[in-house]
Amino acid sequence: MTYTTTHTLLDGVRIVTPDSLELITPYVLREQQDWFEDEIKFLRHLLQPGQKVIDIGANYGVYALSMAKAVGPTGQVWAFEPGSSTAGLLAEGIAANGFAQVTLVQSALSSASGTAQLSLNPHSELNALVHDLAETTEETETVSLVTLDECLETYCWQDIEVVKIDAEGEEANILKGGERFFAWLSPLVQYEIKAGADLHTHLIESFAALGYTSYRLVPGLDLLVPFNPETQMDGFLLNLFCCKPDRAARLAARGVLLDAAELETAKEQIKELLETDGSLDIHRWRHALSGLPYGRQLANEWAVTMNSGGSEEVAQALSLYTLSRDSSLPARARFLALEAGFRCLETLCGQQASHLRLASLARVARDYGARSLAVNALAQLCTTILQQQQVDTSEPFLAPGERFDSIVPGEAIGNWVLAAVLEELERLDSFSSFYTGASALQRLQIIRELGFGSSEMARRLSLLQARMGLPA
């Protein structure tokens, strides 16, 4: 008998999973009260009541049920989940939320209809269709196969807003079985570009052949920007989005997407902000940071440093970041300001990573989508602080994580800085402490002892202790 538990996410959606600390999804949902991907937060923001979406590879329904809440009772969600056990729990989740707008389809999608063997990994997120039984040692079950083109007729699909595909390597076959679907309809598609250590970059070309351009999410702005496959891909990037020009135009009108042509035009327009002729108010950062508890506390110290000179580039980078947070500006200006601030801090820290410049770099890099660089900056800063046993707060800086913007440091400013660095490192260094295991234990204990930890950090520590059989 499998014991189950019901998790309530931050958006109020209920997810039913096995009750186990040895499985990925139930552990992550206990730990973060949400799924760890930025894309799910973007879709909650993007989707509107009455819209129609498709979730291919719905698993326990973290995405499907969150999207169902966003589109409401007048919308519609088709959730495809072939595994009998997982589909059963998804059905329980649908019932727990009272979502009549969700249609559960217990089938896998591929290039042709029929049946196939589905591997049954203990972690259901990793279940995959098996094309050669000799290549798997896992238990399997027989599941039905359908194609997108068949479902196009079966469900009379029209005006599909979003399709999310997470099919553990079956994506190419899903595209083959959906040529009419992708030609006739024009959804925004979220697809998995990385599964484990495997990169599925070929999907960028496969979608391009269907007329779909790929974009990446800029987490700090909830904005899609063109993805360049020739640039080095961030190691934490799991998903991309893609769409046809008509969908891109509609998303651009809503301010949630930038196409390549718009970016090129905007680059010319924003150049005046980046010149040294005074167009960019390099004191803009002061207005933003002085209203924060740590900014008020350090204002006099910062004034002395800024008046003595040598920190002009820091002021410019922080002012550019502040510009990117101004919601009254168009999306293109905000993105280019964020990108310019990121590049400025990256160069500056490469030359001289003094004071708390690495903290600012980590904050801006995370918002920009360069998570690996943010982790490296935090790790370097953490090592320096622990070695030197002191913190230089004399130059203006950004708190590594947004939560610390509202926390009063008090007299223990060094503890406040170290706690901020450690907490953000814990959040960014891995998608969950499920993966880091015992190696995160000491860090979480230090966060607790410093006295500035969040409720999530406390949950992470208690979950690790429980999983490892340690006393609380």
Write down the mean pLDDT value for the chain: 92
Tokens 């993966």 belong to: 435
* Spatial CA neighbour of 402 closest among 382, 427, 375: 427
Q: Cα–chain-centroid distance for residue 425?
A: 15
pLDDT of 197 reads 74
Task: Write down the pLDDT at residue 257.
Answer: 97
CATH superfamily of 4-257: Vaccinia Virus protein VP39 (3.40.50.150)
| Tokens 């189950």, located at residue | 4
DSSP 310: S
The continuous run of DSSP H or E covering 84 comes out as helix 84-97
Helices (H), 389-454: 413-428, 433-436, 441-450
Q: Which residues contact 391 (CB under 8 A, 6 or more apart)?
A: 356, 385, 413, 414, 417, 418
Checking 449-454 for CB contacts under 8 A at 24+ apart, the result is: 450/412, 450/415, 450/416, 450/418, 450/419, 450/422, 451/412, 451/415, 451/419, 452/404, 452/407, 452/415, 452/416, 452/419, 452/420, 452/423, 453/419, 453/423, 454/403, 454/423
d(CA 205, CA 213): 9
Average of pLDDT values for 431-457? Answer: 95
Rounded Cα gap, residues 238 and 131, in angstroms: 24
What local confidence, expressed as pLDDT, does residue 40 receive?
97
- d(CA 79, CA 282) in angstroms, rounded, equals 49
What whole-number distance in Å separates Cα of residue 194 and Cα of residue 44?
A: 22
Phi, psi values for residue 122, rounded to 5°? -50, -35
Mean pLDDT of 443-464: 96
pLDDT value at residue 278: 46
Look at residue 267 in the predicted model and tell me its pLDDT. Answer: 65
pLDDT of res. 168: 77
Q: What is the pLDDT of residues 113-143, one digit of tens each?
A: 999 888 888 887 777 777 766 566 678 888 9
Q: Can you give the pLDDT at residue 227?
A: 95
Strand partners, 198: 195
* pLDDT for 472: 77
Q: What is the mean pLDDT of residues 435-464?
A: 95
Token pair 């998608």 is found at 431
Asked whether the beta carbons of 203 and 190 are under 8 A apart, the reply is no
Closest CA to 119 of 105, 138, 106: 138
User: In which element (H, E) is residue 375 found?
Assistant: helix 371-388
Q: Which of 217, 242, 160 has its CA nearest to residue 42?
A: 217
For the residues 223-244, what does the mean pLDDT come to?
Answer: 93
User: What is the end-to-end Cα distance of the chain in Å, rounded?
Assistant: 28
Bigger pLDDT: 274 vs 44: 44
How is residue 190 written in tokens? 């979220």
The secondary structure of residue 437, as a DSSP letter, is: G
The token duo for 102 is: 């969700």
Confidence of residue 277 (pLDDT cuts 50, 70, 90): very low
pLDDT digits (tens, 9 = 90+) for 346-401: 999 999 998 999 999 999 999 999 999 999 999 999 999 999 998 999 999 999 99
Q: Residue 457 and residue 401: Cα distance in Å, rounded?
A: 13
Q: At what angle do helices 293-308 and 413-428 cross, to 10 degrees?
A: 100
DSSP letter at 234? P
Per-residue tokens: 285: 């950062």
**397 conformational bin, left if phi > 0, alpha if psi -120 to 50, beta if neither:** beta
CB neighbour list of residue 308: distance below 8 Å, 6 or more residues apart: none
Quote the distance between the C-alpha of residue 61 and its chain's center. Answer: 17
Closest alpha carbon to 470 in 434, 433, 438 = 438
- Give the DSSP letter of residue 256: S
DSSP class of 134: G
Q: Which of 174, 171, 221, 173 is nearest to 199 (CA)?
A: 171
pLDDT for the residue 274: 56
How many whole angstroms separate alpha carbon 73 and alpha carbon 50?
A: 7
Query: pLDDT confidence of 276, banded at 50, 70, 90?
Result: very low
Do the Cβ atoms of 321 and 359 come closer than 8 Å? no
pLDDT, residue 279, reads: 57
Give Cα separations from 45 to 40, 70, 271 (angstroms): 9, 8, 30
Q: Which two tokens stand for residue 131?
A: 């094309």
pTM: 0.94
Tell me the percentage of the chain whose pLDDT exceeds 70: 95
Domain residue limits, the chain:
4-257, 268-429
